[in-house]
Amino acid sequence: MVDFVQNTLDGVMTGSSYGLLALGFTLIFGVMRRLNLSYGPSIMIGAYLGTLVYVQLSAGPLVVIAVTLLGAVLAGLYVERLCFAPMAAGAGVASMVSSFAIWMQLEQAAVLALPRHTYPFPPLATGAPLNLGPFLLRVDHLIMLTGALALSACVHLLIYRSHFGLGLRAIINNPVAAHLVGINVRAAIVRAFALASAVGGVAGYLVLAVDQQVTPMFGMWATIKGLIAMMIGGLGSIPGAILGGLLLGVIEAHSQWYFGPHIRDLFAYLALFACLALRPGGLLGEALHEPFERGA
């Protein structure tokens, strides 16, 4: 029984970073009904800048966070300008494939800049794990969980309490009506992209600080984990993204404990597949109705 709770705790910890990634995905998908396959790679660009600063200038964690965040936001805006802004209303699939092409570009750029396979990343905390009764809690995991929950609370407040959030939700509800009430939809989308990239940057930083290394595979990993967590949680639903992330973390932790790492990923995909086949809307989102536009 102790193992079960320990696994669940570990799962919740790692799941919190999935939740943040899913949150970033949901923000972009919610606002534009578009899938950004470059989401992970743009965070990786931020992380590579962060590790560059950490390795070359041996900068402290605060500087690395700032650089990672800024890098992720800049890369995110680059993706928005090239793949999503110029696309006509109907070209949903085209912008998704375009974001895939930019994923290739960003990944190769990162590999060229820093050709080694892995690069060190500043750790979050190096203290011994705390023990809470029979359970072991790694300090850096705790920081990741609290950081993730705090950030998602901030995003929730921003979306549901602020003027910016009101505008964003209006666009999500009905873009034409948003235009008609005088919202500058273009500018709001760019700000939403920046916000999502920033959230992704923090998630990336937390994950890589726990991992203490960054590889070019991180882009794909982040995109796929964020996507799975978003789909399980429910498209366009902010609480759903966090819940989906935590659930994915717990599923993975248990399957890793009982069946080993390979089977862990298999279970994650199985969970996603079952969720899609049985409840397409995900736990908290509602199923999409309007067709996923195929092109202008």
Interacting positions 27-46 with another protein (CB under 8 A): 35, 37
295: number of Cβ within 10 Å: 10
Nearest to 138 by CA among 128, 148, 147: 128
User: What's the token pair of residue 93?
Assistant: 């699939």
Interacting positions 41-80 with another protein (CB under 8 A): none
Q: Select 112 or 128, whichever has its Cβ closest to another protein.
A: 112
Total of chain residues touching another protein, rule CB under 8 A: 85
218 binds another protein (CB under 8 A): yes
235 binds another protein (CB under 8 A): yes
User: What's the token pair of residue 268?
Assistant: 């994650």
Of the candidate residues 61, 77, 211, 257, the single one contacting another protein (CB under 8 A): 211
CB 71 within 8 A of CB 180: no
Interacting positions 236-255 with another protein (CB under 8 A): none
3-state secondary structure of 15: helix
Of 47-55, 142-150, 195-203, 284-292: span binding another protein (CB under 8 A)? 284-292
CB 40 within 8 A of CB 223: yes
Of 58-66, 138-146, 180-188, 190-198: span binding another protein (CB under 8 A)? 180-188
Of the candidate residues 5, 97, 136, 150, the single one contacting another protein (CB under 8 A): 97
Q: Select 100 or 135, whichever has its Cβ closest to another protein.
A: 100
- Residue 1 beta carbon to another protein: minimum distance, rounded to whole angstroms: 26
User: What's the token pair of residue 287?
Assistant: 């199923």
Of 127-135, 151-159, 172-180, 196-204: span binding another protein (CB under 8 A)? 172-180
Alpha helices (runs of H) in the chain, residue ranges in sequence order: 2-32, 39-56, 61-79, 92-113, 139-161, 163-173, 175-180, 185-211, 218-233, 238-259, 261-278
Of the candidate residues 12, 64, 124, 231, the single one contacting another protein (CB under 8 A): 231
Place of tokens 């498209």: 235
Of the candidate residues 102, 144, 195, 196, the single one contacting another protein (CB under 8 A): 102
CA distance from start to end of the chain: 56
Q: Select 64 or 235, whichever has its Cβ closest to another protein.
A: 235
- Residue 259 beta carbon to another protein: minimum distance, rounded to whole angstroms: 10
Of the candidate residues 203, 227, 238, 250, the single one contacting another protein (CB under 8 A): 227
> What is the C-alpha separation between 49 and 53, in angstroms, rounded?
6
93 binds another protein (CB under 8 A): yes
127 binds another protein (CB under 8 A): no
Q: Select 7 or 62, whichever has its Cβ closest to another protein.
A: 7
User: What's the token pair of residue 79?
Assistant: 């993706």
Q: Select 59 or 143, whichever has its Cβ closest to another protein.
A: 143
> What is the C-alpha separation between 98 and 38, in angstroms, rounded?
9
CA of 129: how far to CAs of 125, 126, 232, in Å? 10, 9, 31
- Residue 23 beta carbon to another protein: minimum distance, rounded to whole angstroms: 17
CB 107 within 8 A of CB 216: yes
